[in-house]
Amino acid sequence: MSIYRHEHKVSKAQRIQLLGQKPLIIWLTGLSGSGKSTLAGLLEEKLFAAGIKTYLLDGDNVRFGLNKDLGFSEGDRKENMRRIAEVAKLMVDAGLVVITAFISPFKIERELVRRLVEQDEFIEVFVDTPLEICEQRDPKGLYQKVRAGELQHFTGIDSPYEEPVNPEILCKTENRSPEECVIQMLDFLLPRIQSV
């Protein structure tokens, strides 16, 4: 193999100093309909308003470009996560705060992302919403399709979701507004991001 790592003269530490923030991956995980995308969008708005340099990677959006060649088989879903993890790692290396909103149902995949960056650069946010609430919301009509037999291998129904055991942030959305959840996240995140 003729691939060699090329060392650049501008370091991650220099980019962090220039941007004046600690880079992070803020990884929102939860069932479809749990509110991940809503929370990620609101969080990005608040961080951006606070002068934080951010980028939001959303599950559906990356499938229009970076991952448009992938389906929803187990292998494709793993590759989807692998690619997103590598992109998020590059963004952290650039000094950004990366917010992601992906079901990411398997603990091993989330741990893979955690291992790609420094220990304190990965923040797991479990958007904890009961399945019955997600089904009631059903913003994309996916649960309805699953129950009608039109979709298979759907997380939470006929494909497992492994809940995070010790997430850095636990957002219970059943009885809390998105705004309340984002305030909870900001209270945890801002001191860390601004600690540079």
Tell me which DSSP letter residue 119 carries.
G
End-to-end CA distance of the chain: 39
104 catalytically annotated = yes
CA atoms of 89 and 81, how far apart (whole Å): 12
Helix (H, G, I), strand (E, B) or coil at 61: helix
Residue 70 to residues 66, 79, 82, 118, 141: CA-CA distances in angstroms?
9, 8, 12, 29, 21
Which helix (DSSP H) or strand (DSSP E) does residue 171 occupy? strand 169-172
How is residue 73 written in tokens? 């088989």
CA atoms of 187 and 123, how far apart (whole Å): 13
Q: Which of 104, 159, 177, 195 is catalytic?
A: 104
Q: Taking Cα atoms as reference points, which of 135, 55, 50, 167 lies closest to residue 101? A: 55
CA atoms of 91 and 85, how far apart (whole Å): 10
In whole angstroms, what separates CA 36 from the centre of its chain?
A: 8
User: Catalytic residue numbers?
Assistant: 104
